[in-house]
Structure 1
Amino acid sequence: MLLKDESICSKGRATIDTLNGIFKRYEPHKKWLMYLKRIALAILMVLFLTGISSAADEFQYEEIWVHQGVFDLATGDRASAEKYTVKLHEINEEEDGFSATLLLYVDGEFQKSFFADDSLNNEFVHDKDLTVRTLSIDRTKVTLELYLHEYELVWIPSESRKLAVEDTTQVDNAIIKLLNVSDTIATIKVTIDGKTYVDEYETNAYKKYSDEILLRVRYIDRDSKEINLQPYQPGEPDFKIEINALGDQYSPNMPASFEIYLKNTGTIPARGITVTASSSSVQLDPVSYELAMLDTLKIHKIPVNLTLPETPEKENIVIDVNVDGYAYKGNNYQNSTTAQTIVEPYISIEKTIDTHLLTEEDKTKRKIIVEMVVYNNASIGHEVNIHDPIPSTFMPIGIESADWTVFIGAGRSENIRYKALPTVAGTYELGPAVASWYSQGETYDVVSDGAAVTIDVEGALLEVEKDVSLSDIYTGEEVDVTVTITNIGLIDVEVSFTEEIPAGFKFISGEKGWEGPLEAGDEKRLTYKVLAQEEGIIDLPPTMVSYTDEDDIQGTFRSNVEKLYVYSLEPAEINMESENIKNDNEPLSRGGHASFLLSAFATIAGILSIVPLIAYFYIRRSH
C-alpha cells in the first residue's frame, strides 16, 4: 500500500474547487480575476510543498537494530553498550563443539544468565531492546556483537529525477519506468533483483521496495504528463580524520603533543568507533581511544602526548592514525591519515653575528661580534668540540683561534662570545659553526641553523694578475706581458706601478707603468713586449701596485710570478736542420722515375711466376 499525506491533498483540492466557484461567479472581470487566480495558486503551491517536506521527514526514520560493536571476550571479560553489560562466565566444551554461559547486567546490576553457542542458540534478545549475537566460540574466547533497538534516521534523499511517460531511470540495481500519468495518479514500474512491481502513486506517496531503496513522488504534472521522483537510500557514515598541532621539529626530552581531529561527514551516525595511533619511533599516549557514537557533522578531538627518542642524529618520525567504526547495520567504515615530524640531535648549536661595529668611522674599531649557544638535551653530560670557520683575513681578538672544547651537563647549555677584526676589505660569507662530540664509539657533528651571513668590509682591495703570451720561447723571440688591476673593494683609490724588466730580457714596446684613479669595480689592463736575449729559466717579478684610498691610507698589492723557459739554438744546427729538410723534400729526376718503375715490374713478375709452382706442389702432396 502506498502512503501519502491525505490531509494536505484533500485540503488543497477543496480550496481549489472553492476558488473555481468564485471565479465563475465573477466571470465578467476575467482579466483581474486571472491575476488573482495565479497569485492564489502560487500561495497554495508553497503551502502544499511545505506540507510535503514536513511529512517527508517522518518516514526517513525507522525502528532499527543499531550495531554497537564486535567484542572478543575471555573468561571474566565484559562488553558494554550504553546501560547493558555482558560478561563471559565460562566456556564449556561439548561433543559437537563449544558453548558459553554469559551474564547480563543492566546499569551495573545483575539481571540474568543465558546460554549461547555459535549455531542454533547464537542470538539472545532482552526486553526487545538488546540483542547479543554470538559469532564464534573456541577454548579461549567468545566473539560476539551487540545491537540496541533505536528509532533512527535511515533514509537519505539522493538526486531527484524528472520523468515523462515511458522514461526510464536507474538507482543502483533498481530500474524505474513511468508507465502513465492520469489526472492525479502516476503509474510506475520498478524492477529490482529480478522482481517487477507496478504501483500507482499520488503526489507525496512513497513506498519502500527493499532495504536499499525507497521512492517518493514529489509532484505530478497532469498537463505535461511528467512527475518529479525522489529516490531515498540508506545513509552512510564517513570519517574525516586529521593530525593537528604537530610541530615541524622537536628537541629530545622536550614536551610534545598533537591533536586527532575526527569528524563524521556522512549522513547518519557512526557507532562503535575506535581510533588508534601508532609510530615506530616514539611512544604515544593514548594509543587507542573508543567512542560509542559520533552523530552526523559532529566533531571529536583527542589529545595525544609524545615521548621523543634521545638521538645523536636527526630522525624522521612518522605517525599513523586510523579510525574504525560501524553503521547501524554493522557495515564497517574506516579511514586513516599520516603526519611527519623531526626529532633533532640532542646536541644543537645556535650562532648569531652582530655587524653593527663595521660602520664605525674609525677603521681600527670595525669588528664583528659572534655569539654561540650549545645545548645538550641528552640525559647525560657530553664533551663537545666547537669550531667556527671564520675567514683567514679575520683576526680573533683575545683568543688564539675560533676553536673550543667544553663539557656540557645533561639538560644544560654553554655560551661562547668573541670578537674578530677584518683585516682586508671585500665581501665575505660567514658560514655556520660546527659542534662535534663522541658517543658510544661514534663521532657525531651538527651545524648551526640559518643561512650563511654575507658582510661587506669597507676598504681598498685590489686584485693584480700577470699573464704572458708564451711561456716556452727561443732567444730572439718576443713575448707579450699583460698586467690587469681590478678594484674589487668598495671604495675608489689612486693607483701607481712600474714594471721591473728582469735581466735577459729587453723592453721593446707598450706600457710598463701607469698612475691614475681606479673606481670600485673598475679594472685597468696594460700590455707590453719584451725580447728574450739569454737562455734559462727566468722569473718575471711580481707587479707591485701602490694605492692611496679616500682616507689617505696607503698600501701595496702584488701580482703572481710568471716563469719563462728560454731556449737557444746554435747557427750550425739551424743550417744543418734546414739542409735536411731541403733534401727530404727534393723531387725525383726522370731517370729516377724509370728506375723505380723497372724495379717494381720485376718484383711483380717474380711473384706471379711462383704462384703456378706453389699450386703444383700443393696438388701433388694432396694425392
Structure 2
Amino acid sequence: MMRLIKLLLLTIVLIAFINSANATSIREEDIWIFQGSYELGIGERAYLEGFTVKLNDISNGTVPTATLLIYSNSVYMEAFEVDAGVNNEHIYDGELKINVVSIENNRISLNIYKHKSELVWVTDIPKTAFKAGDSLSGNDYRITLKAINGSTADLVVRVGEEEYQRTYNSGDYEKFSEDFMINIVYINMDTQEVFIETLKPGAPQIRIDVGNLQESYEPNDYVEYELVVTNNGTIPLHGIILTTECDDGEVELVTQQHSILDPQKKKKFQIRIKPYIEPVTRNITITTSVEGYDYRGNKYNNQIKTEATVNSYISIEKKVTSKEKTSDNPEFGTEQYFQINITVTNKADFQTAVTVTDVLPPEFIPNDIENAEWSMVLAAGETKTIGYFASSTEPGNFTFEPATVAWKDSGETYTMQSNPIEETFHVSGSRVILQKEISSSYMVVGETIDIILKVTNEGDRDIDISFRETIPDELSYVVGEREWHGTLAAGTTKEFRYTVKAERAGEYYLPETELSLTDENGKKENMVSDELFLYIDDAPTEVDDQYYEQTYNQLDASASYPSDTSVADPDITSIEVMKFLVSSFVSLLALIAIVPTFAYLFISRVYK
C-alpha cells in the first residue's frame, strides 16, 4: 500500500514537471537574438552576453575596412576583417553574428546577434475552458471549438482575414504569426472540454530610479549617485546603453553598457559628474537616457532628469560654545561666557579675498576685539578659522545670528550666511535694577514728601544687597526705611519708602543711592541710582497773609456794584434817529465831492 502511494506521488510530480517544462519550451525560441546596435571608435568595445567585440583599427581605402577582435569571457579568440559591402557579416562559432551597418569617420556601426534559446512568448489570454460551439476572441484573432472527437479537438482559428481548420491533441501548439500562438493545454474527454491559452510576444520595459543622491555636493568633489535600471517587462532586454549628459559639469562616463537584463532584474550604474566651479549654490540637471532592444531588434528607451545641489566654492560655518567662568574671574553678574569660531573655506582652484562679519546679541560685548569684521585672502583650497570670545552683560536666554562672508567674482559681489544656529543658550546670574522716585518734585518748607526705592532682581540667582540713604541738610528724616541689608531672591522686587520734611527753600538734587551687591559666588559690585531734582519753596509769613487778604478785599470792593442797578440810558426818539442819519449822509456826500475837486486842482497846477 505504501509503495502504491509513493508511486502515485511520483507520477503526479513527473506530470507537473513535464507540463512545466512543456510550458517553458513553448515560450522559448532557439533563434538569433538581437544583442544591440553599437558605434565604436578605434580601441572601443561592445560588451555582450559572454562576448566582447573590439574595434582594433580602420583602413580608409576605396572601400573602408575594419579589423575586429572577439573575446570570450575576456579571453582573446580571433581577429577578422569586415567592410560595409559584401563582407559586412561575420559569424563566430555559430553563436555570434556581426553585421556591419557603416564604416565612416574612423568609426564603425554594428548590429550584433547571438544564437540562443530565449523566452519570447508570454500569455495573452490565460487557460480557458471550451465546450463545443464556444468561441474566444483576442487581438485580431478568433478561436472556435467545433467538436471533440475522442482525444482530439477540432478548432477553427481565424487570424485577420485568414481562417484555419485544425485538429489538435493535448499539448499541441501552433504559431500562426510572429504575434500569435495557440496552445492546447489539455483535452478532457470526460467533461468534453478543451483548455486553451493564447500567447503573444513579450516586451521589455525600462524603469529608471535614482539612489544614494546626497542633499548637496561640494564643488571640488564629484556629484556621485546610483542609477538603477529595472526591466519591468516580460522578456529580456538586450544591448543596454546608458548615456549621461550635463551642461553644468563634466561627465566621467558619458556612455555605459550592459549586455542583458532579464525580466524583473536590476542593474546599478554609477554616475559621476565633476561640476563646474560657481560662486553661488545652484541645482544642476543631469539627463540620463537608457535604451535597449528585444530579441527582434525593436528599440526601447526611457529617460530621467536628476537635479543635484552643488554648493558655492566659498563656505562658512559658525560654531558657538558656552563656557563656565572660572572662580577667579572678577566679573560680576553672569556665570557663562562664549567662544565663537567662524570657519571659512575656499574650494576653488584660485585664491579669493573675503570679508567676514559677525553679529552679537545687543546684550553681548566681544572680548579683546574692536569690531566683528575681518578681511583675509584665502588661497586655493585653503581654510581659515576666526575665533573670539564674548560675554553677556545680563542673564537670560539668547540666540545667535549666522555669520556672513562677502567676496567678489568677475566684478560682482556675492554674500553667504552660515547655517542658522538653532540652539538657545542660557546665561545664569544676577541682574539688579534700581529705581528711585519721589512723590513730588515740588514742596513748600515744612511740607513732607515720600522717597521710594524699588530694587528688582531679574536674574536667576539670589543676591545680597545693602544701602544707607544720605539725607541732605535741606531735608529732615521723618519716618520709613532709609537703610536695609538682606537677600533679594531671584525674580523678586522689594520696595523701600521713607518720608522727609523740607527745612530750607531752594533748588536741589537729591543724592544718588548707592546699592552694594554680593552674588552667590561672593563677587561684589556697586550700583547707583539717578539724581532727582527737588524744588523747595518758601512758606508765606503772617504779614504776607494779611497783605494778601487786604489786597483781595480791595480788589473785591472795586469789583462790586451798588444795590440800585436801575440806571438807564436816556431815551432816543425816532426824530433824533432820522436827524442823525441825514447828517451822516450829507457828511459822507461832501467827503466824496471834495476828493475829485482836490484832484482837479492838483492836475491843473502841475500842467499850468
TM range (shorter): 0.5 to 0.7
Partner of 2:411: 441
> Alignment partner for residue 353 of structure 1, among 296, 310, 320?
320
* Partner SS state of residue 250, structure 1: coil
Partner of 1:153: 119
Return the offset for 1:182: 5.2
> Alignment partner for residue 270 of structure 1, among 237, 254, 267?
237
* Partner SS state of residue 324, structure 2: helix
Partner of 1:432: 402
Partner of 1:412: 382
Question: Structure 1 pair 419/113, CA: closer, same or farther in 2 (3 Å)?
Answer: closer
Return the offset for 1:334: 1.0
Partner of 1:618: none
Partner of 1:389: 359
* Partner SS state of residue 51, structure 1: helix
Partner of 1:194: 161
Identity %: 27
> Alignment partner for residue 347 of structure 2, among 366, 370, 377?
377
Q: How is 1:403-552 mapped onto 2 (pairs within 5 angstroms)? A: 403-461=373-431, 489-491=459-461, 551=520
* Partner SS state of residue 391, structure 1: coil
Q: How is 1:26-65 mapped onto 2 (pairs within 5 angstroms)? A: 44-65=11-32
Q: How is 1:322-361 mapped onto 2 (pairs within 5 angstroms)? A: 322-357=289-324
* Partner SS state of residue 289, structure 2: strand
Q: How is 1:64-75 mapped onto 2 (pairs within 5 angstroms)? A: 64-70=31-37
Partner of 1:313: 280
Indicate whether 1:368 and 2:338 are aligned.
yes
> Alignment partner for residue 177 of structure 2, among 200, 210, 213?
210
Amino acid at match of 2:403: A
Question: Structure 1 pair 495/340, CA: closer, same or farther in 2 (3 Å)?
Answer: farther
Indicate whether 1:282 and 2:249 are aligned.
yes
Question: Structure 1 pair 455/386, CA: closer, same or farther in 2 (3 Å)?
Answer: same
Distance 1:101 1:191 in 2: 50
Deviates more, 1:445-454 or 1:131-140: 131-140
Amino acid at match of 1:340: E
Return the offset for 1:450: 4.3
Return the offset for 1:313: 0.9
Distance 1:520 1:196 in 2: 103
Contact 1:162 1:226 in 2 (8 A): no
Indicate whether 1:398 and 2:368 are aligned.
yes
Return the offset for 1:178: 4.2
Cα RMSD (Å):
5.0
Return the offset for 1:326: 0.9
Indicate whether 1:234 and 2:204 are aligned.
no
Question: Structure 1 pair 264/310, CA: closer, same or farther in 2 (3 Å)?
Answer: same
Amino acid at match of 2:361: P
User: What does the per-residue CA deviation read over 1:108-148, in whole Å, with 9 as the maximum and x for residues that have no partner?
Assistant: 544676746xxxxx996869877777879999999774545
Question: Structure 1 pair 413/190, CA: closer, same or farther in 2 (3 Å)?
Answer: same
Return the offset for 1:102: 6.1
Contact 2:345 2:381 in 1 (8 A): yes
Question: Structure 1 pair 197/356, CA: closer, same or farther in 2 (3 Å)?
Answer: farther
Q: Which has the higher Rg, Structure 1 or Structure 2?
A: 2
Distance 1:557 1:45 in 2: 107
Distance 1:74 1:353 in 2: 58
Return the offset for 1:435: 1.4
User: What does the per-residue CA deviation read over 1:164-223, in whole Å, with 9 as the maximum and x for residues that have no partner?
Assistant: 425544443333344445554344443322333343333322221221222223333444
Return the offset for 1:310: 1.5
Question: Structure 1 pair 331/187, CA: closer, same or farther in 2 (3 Å)?
Answer: same
Return the offset for 1:324: 0.8
Question: Structure 1 pair 79/346, CA: closer, same or farther in 2 (3 Å)?
Answer: closer
Amino acid at match of 1:162: T
Contact 1:76 1:89 in 2 (8 A): no
Amino acid at match of 2:416: V
Return the offset for 1:355: 0.9
User: What does the per-residue CA deviation read over 1:71-126, in whole Å, with 9 as the maximum and x for residues that have no partner?
Assistant: 6799999999858789987798xxxxxxx77678675544676746xxxxx99686
Contact 1:429 1:453 in 2 (8 A): yes
Gaps of 5+ in 1: 1-32, 93-99, 117-121, 466-483, 498-514, 526-543, 560-623
**TM-score normalised over the length of structure 2:** 0.62
Distance 2:115 2:30 in 1: 7
Distance 2:149 2:88 in 1: 50
Contact 2:83 2:100 in 1 (8 A): no
Contact 1:546 1:557 in 2 (8 A): yes
Gaps of 5+ in 2: 71-77, 436-453, 468-484, 496-512, 531-608
Question: Structure 1 pair 358/191, CA: closer, same or farther in 2 (3 Å)?
Answer: farther
* Partner SS state of residue 399, structure 2: strand
Question: Structure 1 pair 496/112, CA: closer, same or farther in 2 (3 Å)?
Answer: closer
Contact 2:135 2:144 in 1 (8 A): yes
Amino acid at match of 2:417: V
Question: Structure 1 pair 363/262, CA: closer, same or farther in 2 (3 Å)?
Answer: farther
Return the offset for 1:390: 0.9
Distance 2:185 2:494 in 1: 93
Distance 1:387 1:424 in 2: 24
Distance 2:88 2:390 in 1: 85
Distance 2:10 2:42 in 1: 67
Question: Structure 1 pair 409/363, CA: closer, same or farther in 2 (3 Å)?
Answer: same
User: What does the per-residue CA deviation read over 1:43-92, in whole Å, with 9 as the maximum and x for residues that have no partner?
Assistant: 64443222211233333332323324446799999999858789987798
Return the offset for 1:550: 6.8
Distance 2:528 2:267 in 1: 74
* Partner SS state of residue 416, structure 1: strand
Distance 1:150 1:190 in 2: 30
Contact 1:375 1:414 in 2 (8 A): yes
Amino acid at match of 2:21: S
Which structure shows the higher helix fraction? 1
Distance 1:524 1:192 in 2: 105
Question: Structure 1 pair 110/548, CA: closer, same or farther in 2 (3 Å)?
Answer: closer
